[in-house]
Amino acid sequence: MKLRCTKCGREYPLESFIQRCEICNEPLELELLKGEIREGKTVWERYRDFYPFELEIEYSLGEGDTPLTKVQKLSKELEVELYIKNETLNPTWSFKDRGTFVGIHRALKLGFRKIGTVSTGNMAASVASYGQRFGLETYILVSSTIPEEKLLPIAVYEPKLIKVLGDYGELYFKSLEIGRKNRIYFINSDDPFRIEGYKTISFEIVESFVPDYVLIPTSSGGLFRGILKGFLELKESKIIEEIPTLICVQAQGCSPIYKAFIEGKDRIVHFKNPNTIAHAIENPYPPSGNDVLRKLRKYKGFCIAVSDEEILNAQKELAKEGIFAQPASTVGIAALKELRKEKEISKGERIVSIITGSGLKFLGALGRKLEIRECTLEMLNKCIGL
Amino acid sequence: MKLRCTKCGREYPLESFIQRCEICNEPLELELLKGEIREGKTVWERYRDFYPFELEIEYSLGEGDTPLTKVQKLSKELEVELYIKNETLNPTWSFKDRGTFVGIHRALKLGFRKIGTVSTGNMAASVASYGQRFGLETYILVSSTIPEEKLLPIAVYEPKLIKVLGDYGELYFKSLEIGRKNRIYFINSDDPFRIEGYKTISFEIVESFVPDYVLIPTSSGGLFRGILKGFLELKESKIIEEIPTLICVQAQGCSPIYKAFIEGKDRIVHFKNPNTIAHAIENPYPPSGNDVLRKLRKYKGFCIAVSDEEILNAQKELAKEGIFAQPASTVGIAALKELRKEKEISKGERIVSIITGSGLKFLGALGRKLEIRECTLEMLNKCIGL
């Protein structure tokens, strides 16, 4: 089993501490694994064939096996069958936990007792949580502009928490360098083993059906790559016949992959002055950006960017289905509305939109004025009738 | 199939709109159901024998089937096998969703198109969410002292939200009266069908093992009753031989059931001036309080109350296992520490503590000073080494 550069194909042994290609500086990926679906309660047990090493299930916090929920009102309105993969039901309430759980295995196999990450929120909470779970020293690097409401759910796990002044896109690369110097394994957004965690999303989806399209909120590109790898492995294993069309969705306010995609470029360019309500996908220089571009072309996926107004509107509409998602999660719904309007997706298609994190994570996004009546116990009957 | 008064045994037909016994004003309960465990992905499918009506699974948001996680550090420290039933992985991030999902079925069967609830937070969010999901008009009555961070995750679902000035214990009874007048089905904390939802927690636990003890954070008494009913039905069905010892845990700052229990009383008394950090279990006059007392005696359970300091300490310790729970959820851990110290629970016992809701729901409880370093990208290597 080898790690392979996603660009030049150069191979690296799994046992070497290497996180990106030494020649291209592009992300590495495990070769495609093949297997059968086994019996088991958890996704890790059912898909153990797809892991080239033993997973330490006794340290699992129950990540994965999230609901795939059909949203009735939006399906009707958009004349499609729309399902959401509700990743808010993970141990730290975002999809990151799948990747963190698997990612930690690589750190442990390489003999690390210190781990870290660079994150705007979700991944920080996830790595801090699993760091405690596995008993590791944990370093969390966050952007200095992070709001208090996002810091508290990280700080509760008591990691070494550092606010870093400077470009968030550069911080990713800087952290890998510092990790090498200080023997800290940084399980960053597109770490090769993180991808191995995310692929379980695809495994779970096909247990219900094979969708026509999958909408993927995209920041670093790690989630996109993981979901694609999952479907490819299922196809290689003859569990599915065709892979769905994957749609990479970005926020207009920070859309380096989208920009390169529509301009027909091979490489992303650092996005200047990023500014979007969807902070969880606000990476101006996605470390897997070039690879997402390569894969969009190879597998005929497409890329779309949506505005903050559309994102917040989608958040509101999803709440009307009973699901409270953070703004970065609802870009898929916003994109679908656009794609249906432009008839790029036909009536009746089966679509899965990945809802990446809980709305509780970012109450600050709910800027609206609350409509709340107030009355006494005695006046309640009258008040209710109004 | 009948509803029966938990005190006098008087029976009421399921088809009548009745929520408490007309004679005793005590809570009603469905008779014990028996069945077998069936094949199925969700708890509703596997335990369909235990429901005397069809559940509308297509409206499920994926409630239930939450992880049962062994916590390693606390198990070692306390010399027991401690598992937490992690109810924070429900669609609105608390156990309430199980009860809301089933509770709505009764409202629909009785022909209601309006539902409501009285809640300090978790149940309000849950009922507001499922109200949207099922397309019902939803009335949420909250206490006028509720903090903004708890209102937002309710308001996002756009229910009719009313702050009520007056005694929270009385509000429960007042709401049932108003519901009758205005054709609103109030799915309150100990609604008979809510209990039918909570019993799935026991069903899921025994799929792993039958514990010696179950620690249950207790406010209204609905969760306690649901878990007990689940174990009793499993015993009646010969799926388990003995039921675990159930431990009702309250916060010292609002402990009407505990007070009556240790004083050997039959009835709870309205708790004066409740004051605890565990707001989610701060009901000064629990509507199922008397029934919990009856059941604690009948099934040889016990009751314990813990201080806010112990609760917050338990929250911190649980975070060291990677799990961030709201304070009301950690009373079970706090109680266990006490019970082990007093040797009321022996070494080696297998214990499940119910973690009722996510820590994200109440960041305000984390009053502590955050330890955060701050540095520039250039100085990061130095800063990490410190």
Query: H/E/C letters for each residue in A336-382?
Result: HHHHHHCCCCCCCCEEEEEECEEHHHHHHHCCCCCCEEEEECCCHHH
Q: Based on the fold, state whether residues A217 and A147 are members of the same structural domain.
A: no
Residues in B closer than 8 angstroms to A359, CB to CB, are: 153, 156
Query: Does residue B38 lie within any of the structural domains?
Result: no
Contact A90, A98 (CB under 8 A): yes
Total structural domains in chain B? 2
Residues 40-79 of A with CB under 8 A from B: 58, 60-62, 65-67, 69-70
Indicate the DSSP class of residue B280: G
Check CB contact under 8 Å for B152 and A184: no
Residue showing tokens 């401690």: B82
Q: Based on the fold, state whether residues B251 and B180 are members of the same structural domain.
A: no
- Band of pLDDT at residue A368, cut at 50, 70 and 90: low
Query: Does residue B313 lie within any of the structural domains?
Result: yes
Q: Based on the fold, state whether residues B78 and B215 are members of the same structural domain.
A: yes
Indicate the DSSP class of residue A307: -
Q: Is B170 on the interface with A (CB under 8 A)?
A: yes
Residues in A closer than 8 angstroms to B160, CB to CB, are: 373, 384
Q: Based on the fold, state whether residues B157 and B276 are members of the same structural domain.
A: no
- Band of pLDDT at residue A324, cut at 50, 70 and 90: very high
A352, pLDDT greater than 70: yes
A197, pLDDT greater than 80: yes
Residue where one domain finishes, among candidates B140, B169, B191: B191
pLDDT in tens, A129-188: 999 999 999 999 998 888 888 899 999 999 999 999 988 888 999 999 999 999 999 999
Q: Is B324 on the interface with A (CB under 8 A)?
A: yes
- Band of pLDDT at residue A255, cut at 50, 70 and 90: very high
Q: Based on the fold, state whether residues A186 and A217 are members of the same structural domain.
A: no
Query: Does residue A302 lie within any of the structural domains?
Result: yes
Helix/strand/coil for B249? strand
Residue where one domain finishes, among candidates B171, B191, B211: B191
Give the pTM.
Answer: 0.97
Check CB contact under 8 Å for B91 and A363: no
- Which positions of chain B have pLDDT values less than 50? none
Q: Is B372 on the interface with A (CB under 8 A)?
A: yes
Query: Does residue A361 lie within any of the structural domains?
Result: yes
- Across the interface, of A163, A175, A363, the residue whose CB is closest to B153 is A363
How far apart are the C-alpha atoms of A98 and A354, rounded to whole Å? 14
Query: Does residue A374 lie within any of the structural domains?
Result: no
* Residue A286 CA: distances (Å) to CA of A256, A267, B6, B144, B326: 8, 11, 60, 46, 34
CA distance B292 to chain A (A): 27
Q: Based on the fold, state whether residues A329 and A282 are members of the same structural domain.
A: yes
Q: Based on the fold, state whether residues B305 and B234 are members of the same structural domain.
A: yes
Q: Based on the fold, state whether residues B76 and B86 are members of the same structural domain.
A: yes
Query: Does residue A379 lie within any of the structural domains?
Result: no
Check CB contact under 8 Å for A67 and B151: no
CA distance A152 to chain B (A): 7
Q: Is A252 left (phi over 0), alpha (psi -120 to 50) or beta?
A: alpha
How far apart are the C-alpha atoms of A102 and A93, rounded to whole Å? 17
Q: Based on the fold, state whether residues B102 and B136 are members of the same structural domain.
A: yes
pLDDT in tens, B318-328: 999 999 999 99
CATH number for the domain spanning B271: value is: 3.40.50.1100
* Residue B190 CA: distances (Å) to CA of A361, B177, B223: 29, 15, 8
Cα A65 to chain center, whole Å? Answer: 15
| pLDDT computed for residue B177 by the predictor | 94
Check CB contact under 8 Å for B384 and A162: yes
How far apart are the C-alpha atoms of B42 and A325, rounded to whole Å? 23
Tokens of A329: 């999660």
Helix/strand/coil for B336? helix
Q: Based on the fold, state whether residues A233 and A337 are members of the same structural domain.
A: yes
Nearest Cα residue to A348 out of A44, A155, A75, A25 = A75
Range of the domain at A337: 68-91+193-365
Residues in A closer than 8 angstroms to B376, CB to CB, are: 164-166
pLDDT in tens, A263-283: 999 999 999 999 999 999 999
Indicate the DSSP class of residue A229: H
**Cα-only R_g, chain B:** 21
pLDDT in tens, A210-227: 999 999 999 999 999 999
Residue where one domain finishes, among candidates A138, A160, A192: A192
Q: Based on the fold, state whether residues A297 and A199 are members of the same structural domain.
A: yes
Residues in A closer than 8 angstroms to B133, CB to CB, are: 321-322
Check CB contact under 8 Å for A161 and B370: yes
Helices B308-319 and B331-341 cross at an angle (nearest 10°) of 100
Q: Which of B129, B330, B384, B386 to mutate to test the interface with A (most CBs of A within 10 A)?
A: B384
Q: Based on the fold, state whether residues B109 and B184 are members of the same structural domain.
A: yes
| pLDDT computed for residue B150 by the predictor | 87
Check CB contact under 8 Å for A321 and B133: yes
- What is the count of residue pairs from A and B with beta carbons less than 8 Å apart? 224
Query: Does residue B276 lie within any of the structural domains?
Result: yes
Q: Which of B65, B100, B369, B377 to mutate to test the interface with A (most CBs of A within 10 A)?
A: B377
- Across the interface, of A58, A89, A384, the residue whose CB is closest to B91 is A89
Check CB contact under 8 Å for B86 and A62: yes
CA distance A124 to chain B (A): 12
Q: Is B376 on the interface with A (CB under 8 A)?
A: yes
Query: Does residue B53 lie within any of the structural domains?
Result: no
How far apart are the C-alpha atoms of A141 and A68, rounded to whole Å? 32
Backbone angles phi, psi at B360, to 5 degrees: -65, -20
Average pLDDT over residues A284-313: 97
Residues in A closer than 8 angstroms to B166, CB to CB, are: 376-378
Check CB contact under 8 Å for A153 and B360: yes
- Band of pLDDT at residue A371, cut at 50, 70 and 90: confident
Q: Which of A85, A360, A386 to mutate to test the interface with B (most CBs of B within 10 A)?
A: A360
Q: Is A86 on the interface with B (CB under 8 A)?
A: yes
Q: Which residue of A has its CA nearest to B149?
A: A363
Q: Which of B75, B165, B315, B324 to mutate to test the interface with A (most CBs of A within 10 A)?
A: B324
| pLDDT computed for residue B386 by the predictor | 66
Check CB contact under 8 Å for A93 and B61: no
Tokens of A281: 């996908």
